[in-house]
Structure 1
């Protein structure tokens, strides 16, 4: 009995002991090994070889190394292998690093690295060091936008395990090695991103042998010759970018339904011909940018299948033939740019409920008819440009309900009638730029709108950013950069048609020129203190130039030419210290041109064709411009007397002449009739000689 009890107790002890060992083993295995001392030391040496630019607001990942822990595996930007403790990933992107890296850098002691990301730093135009060959386990290398320059070393071809190579946005040259050698040696590549690297070669067809490629980005690389069609049809390709290579030619092939293509950027390359009907098979496509590619013909009707499309730029091509429809559901579209084509018919009827469009640009086509009222569904719309078409409509005051609209351009259409009054004070709450020039709008200037355009009345000059799409971020590479779409527009500013590739957030402009506006310029315009540009030229405006315009202290361009304005130019306008362009020509202005400050910079053409206007820079001098001021008597000076007008020299001369004649005549009469009295009164006490001479004169 005791023996059996002892046996049971012994087996229970063994069970507990084995259980304890299992728990202990599990707990120990879950503990990650510490960073290796040699790698920790190499990282600290690398840190010491660089400078952190303190002037940037960006947090630097290396700043707190060592302060966080003695274990480098816990430091920012570092990842270690869970089993070995070796550093396998170093991500110091956007860390405000400055300096240079050479082949003796301790960085190359981290021989277990698999991922290295030094993008968005400044390595001071140093060359990519040949020591990179020691990092033979690298699968991901990202040196984009980091200030490297010179030739890309051939040693990079020894990194045979590379899956992603990103050297974009550096002043680098890829000559030896070239694209062919990359395709031959780096056969595992999935991402090849070399945009803005000087390649200056053709695109070898062998590149299409890399069937694992998901991303090809060769924008602005100096490519030329025929682009291999097979590259469009790579089975795993999601993003293709060859834009800004004007000497690159090719054609867009047919696509099958299995194509995973998401991004296609061909802008500025030469791809004449039509877009294939099979474009509709690209059902994963969310960005299509084919600006200035010489495409022609109609838009394929299959575009209606592109329901994931967010960004569509077909501008500056020769698309034509009939009405542009989007027969389908394009409610995800954020950017629509169709400007500078040959489209005819009614404007696209794609603005359905739930519309997410932030920018619509249909400029310089042949669209006609009414503006589609369905635009009111686009509650996220910020920029609407339908300039230079054949739209026949009244001013679209109904667009005032759009809460985000900042830029409205309707120039050179057939907009007619009165602008009228806003229905509520909430109309156009964020409007900063309005251009309805060269239409047929009549009536008075819309001073009621001037009262409610709050975004034009003040601004924050410290906010030096650009207008961009709020809901659209475009992925540029595997490093996760997201590039927001920057809005653009075309305006006539300072008398010159100007393309704004970027619109400053605080830019404010009004162009109502080339219409039939009449009446006076409202004084309330002076409340729009954020205005940079004001153009009311070529209307039938009358009355005076209001001095209140002098409160527009940010004004850079003022054009009131070709109206019927009268009176003098307000002297207060000389206080507009930013005014670089002024045109008051072809009016009925009178009086002297104000002198001083900015007015000294304007030429004759600023004031031409105002018959009664005088003074510099015109050749016509004002009447009193060269005469000294008339002196005042001591009494007048002491009493502070001022005359309501001044005597010119002609008036003084006439008065002096008349007084002389009258005096001589009256004197002669008195002398003749009262000679005795005259002699007695004026000759007493005179010398005798004088009296004798006098008498002789009388005889």
Structure 2
């Protein structure tokens, strides 16, 4: 429809139902429609451009159902809402409502469904909601509610779903929760709740299927002497992340229908007990045991027993021994940051459904099996960073594969890069850094149409980077390249600078930030399941690792440091206007610093140190590089007055050390009358870009969105999860709390 709601509808006095879901409506909703005397249903959900507010209901009508999900209705809920005495269904989720919830909302005697989720409601949850004795569903998730969970809510004996996720509630869960005998769904994730919480209070609720208690400050108590003969709730999904657990809860022994089990970020130590291998063997789809202190599996079978498992996350434990092999159904398998050793098991190559495979940061040794390069056409991410793997890179990359990220960095891989990598036509990220690869520059990788990031640092690459042929479109989407710490020589490859169009003009740079991630193609219809896998990047320079837990799609960087490049910096560098990081340090570059570098107005880090550059520092660098927060031109042959003003006022003397001809602040050396004035703008050719920083030289002036120090920030944030009570009620998650 894509049009406003015609106001003439307000004249239809006999109208009983107005159903306009997903019609592309826009503009202001005619408030007079609320006054129609016979109207029983107003259903306007999923019209994001439809605005409006709730007027004062100082009149009587027959309204039973009001659904405004996913519209742009705003304002506060009027206290007069109590006059809608026939109302049975009130769906206001995913709108822009704010303010406190009036206590009069508890005076609607026929209300069965109440959804206020994903708004900006504040204040306490009104205890009067406990008067809504017919209520079946109460959804308050992702607001700003504070205070306690009212004990009066346990008067709602007809309640089947209670969702309090993502608020700022504190105190404890009322012990009388066990009175809600019909409760099937309870979620209080990501609040500030605490205290000792007895698991038995939930297990007594025979109909309970979905229980989420994560990201609070609970001390969960699950007695070892639970009576296995008494009826217990058979849970389907259970989230107990960050519940101060010290062992696997005893009650899990009697759970036979689990599909999701999250015990991550607890204090569970020792081995995964043998009895866990019998828990929900035929139903479990999702298992997250990451961020504990687990050391291994106690007498488990060679292949893990959960026959339908799709998501397995065991990161950040102290698991030892060989790499566990998940079942054939697995789509996501991450076991990074452990102490695994031994060779990569061949059985891993049977996992033809696998999309994400990450066993980085372990002590795995031996070669990478050839089958790992072609075992699954579903594989999107292969990440084996920081192990002890040796031998050649597998050469059998299959035609038609879907790989988008390959990270083999920080191993002991040798020989040349196999040209079969050209078959990875969808590849966006390739990191082979910190190995023992001996090869010329793999110019043939320029044929990969989607390659965004290429990291070949700290290997034994050698020779000249010959300029590509004039008619060749190479590396069309490349925006981050790190060739540092190799043996490249010859002049800087101006022909590549000319063709790196993604560094000249990045699409969507004025749009909201977008990060490199991979959507998980899991056939799991579960709540609280992460749907994306974020790419991360680590760049090591000068002995310092800079970690990007997320990679923003507009970041552009070049690092050619610590090679043997010579000649002048080409003027073409000034065309790469989207560069944020540029590093040509520790080479044999000569000539002046090109004034064209001043055209790189997004530049935040510039390192030209340890070369043979001569002449003055162009004054344009101080006036035009307003985001520059790191500069190092030390140990060259520069002369004259150091420019003042702008970001140059923030740089320390170490940024300019080792240039005997430089003078002026921040150096102690004063300029003579012959060197005290700055020359006109330089006409020399322009310079290079990179990622090699010395923290001691950081300037602390203004920085842009990407500030150089982002590399040090390790973001710990709950993933963007679906948290819906029912699939027909979509959730726009808004995470605020960080653990």
On whether the aligned pair clears a TM of 0.5, the verdict is: yes
Show the counterpart of 1:433. 480
1:655-675 Cα shifts (integer Å, max 9, x gaps): xxxxxxxxxxxxxxxxxxxxx
Deviation at 1:310, TM superposition (A): 0.9
The question of 1:373 aligning with 2:423 is answered: no
8 A contact 1:295–1:318 mirrored in 2: yes
The question of 1:553 aligning with 2:598 is answered: no
2:491 to 444, 464, 468: 444
The question of 1:300 aligning with 2:348 is answered: no
1:409 to 455, 458, 466: 455
Deviation at 1:251, TM superposition (A): 5.1
Show the counterpart of 1:242. 289
8 A contact 1:101–1:123 mirrored in 2: no
Secondary structure, aligned partner of 1:605: helix
The question of 1:115 aligning with 2:161 is answered: yes
In 2, Cα distance between the equivalents of 1:42 and 1:134? 27
User: Which has the higher Rg, Structure 1 or Structure 2?
Assistant: 1
The question of 1:618 aligning with 2:663 is answered: no
- Gap change, CA 1:123 and 1:596, over 3 Å in 2: closer
Structure with greater strand percent: 2
In 1, Cα distance between the equivalents of 2:193 and 2:231? 23
Show the counterpart of 2:330. 285
Deviation at 1:492, TM superposition (A): 4.2
8 A contact 2:591–2:612 mirrored in 1: yes
Secondary structure, aligned partner of 1:174: strand
Show the counterpart of 1:272. 320
In 2, Cα distance between the equivalents of 1:175 and 1:329? 42
8 A contact 1:416–1:439 mirrored in 2: yes
The question of 1:514 aligning with 2:559 is answered: no
Secondary structure, aligned partner of 1:621: coil
Secondary structure, aligned partner of 2:631: strand
In 1, Cα distance between the equivalents of 2:169 and 2:247? 30
Show the counterpart of 2:385. 339
The question of 1:579 aligning with 2:624 is answered: no
The question of 1:190 aligning with 2:236 is answered: yes
Secondary structure, aligned partner of 1:498: strand
Deviation at 1:258, TM superposition (A): 7.2
Show the counterpart of 1:594. 643
In 2, Cα distance between the equivalents of 1:397 and 1:250? 46
8 A contact 1:476–1:483 mirrored in 2: no
- Gap change, CA 1:165 and 1:269, over 3 Å in 2: same
8 A contact 2:271–2:294 mirrored in 1: no
1:573-606 Cα shifts (integer Å, max 9, x gaps): 1122222221111211112222233223222321
- Gap change, CA 1:382 and 1:196, over 3 Å in 2: farther
Secondary structure, aligned partner of 1:573: helix
Deviation at 1:149, TM superposition (A): 4.7
- Gap change, CA 1:151 and 1:73, over 3 Å in 2: same
Secondary structure, aligned partner of 1:212: coil
1:21-170 alignment runs, 5 A limit = 54=97, 88-90=136-138, 93=141, 96=143, 98-100=145-147, 102-105=149-152, 107-119=153-165, 121-125=166-170, 127-145=172-190, 148-152=193-197, 155-168=201-214, 170=215
Higher relative CO (Cα under 8 Å, sequence separation at least 6) belongs to 2
Deviation at 1:46, TM superposition (A): 9.9
Is the deviation greater in 158-167 or in 294-303?
158-167
- Gap change, CA 1:537 and 1:586, over 3 Å in 2: same
- Gap change, CA 1:458 and 1:451, over 3 Å in 2: same
8 A contact 1:316–1:341 mirrored in 2: yes
1:425-574 alignment runs, 5 A limit = 426-459=473-506, 460-472=508-520, 478-479=526-527, 481-492=529-540, 496-574=544-622
8 A contact 1:42–1:109 mirrored in 2: no
Deviation at 1:146, TM superposition (A): 5.1
Show the counterpart of 2:263. 218
Deviation at 1:616, TM superposition (A): 2.5
In 1, Cα distance between the equivalents of 2:265 and 2:233? 24
RMSD: 3.9
Show the counterpart of 1:603. 652
In 2, Cα distance between the equivalents of 1:250 and 1:135? 38
In 1, Cα distance between the equivalents of 2:86 and 2:497? 65
- Gap change, CA 1:449 and 1:53, over 3 Å in 2: same
- Gap change, CA 1:112 and 1:74, over 3 Å in 2: closer
Gaps of 5+ in 2: 1-63, 66-80, 118-132, 678-739
Deviation at 1:157, TM superposition (A): 4.2
Deviation at 1:113, TM superposition (A): 2.8
The question of 1:228 aligning with 2:273 is answered: yes
2:362 to 310, 317, 322: 317
1:360-399 alignment runs, 5 A limit = 360-399=406-445
8 A contact 2:226–2:250 mirrored in 1: no
1:670-689 alignment runs, 5 A limit = none
In 1, Cα distance between the equivalents of 2:353 and 2:234? 30
Structure with greater helix percent: 1
Deviation at 1:323, TM superposition (A): 4.2
Deviation at 1:265, TM superposition (A): 1.3
In 1, Cα distance between the equivalents of 2:91 and 2:329? 43
8 A contact 1:271–1:293 mirrored in 2: yes
Secondary structure, aligned partner of 2:437: strand
The two structures have a TM-score, normalised by structure 2, of 0.69
Deviation at 1:523, TM superposition (A): 1.6
In 2, Cα distance between the equivalents of 1:219 and 1:144? 13
Q: How many residues in Structure 1 have an aligned counterpart in Structure 2?
A: 571
Secondary structure, aligned partner of 1:394: coil
In 2, Cα distance between the equivalents of 1:446 and 1:140? 61
Deviation at 1:470, TM superposition (A): 3.9
The two structures have a TM-score, normalised by structure 1, of 0.73
Deviation at 1:45, TM superposition (A): 12
In 2, Cα distance between the equivalents of 1:214 and 1:114? 20
Deviation at 1:111, TM superposition (A): 2.3
8 A contact 1:250–1:272 mirrored in 2: no
Gaps of 5+ in 1: 1-33, 57-61, 79-84, 630-699
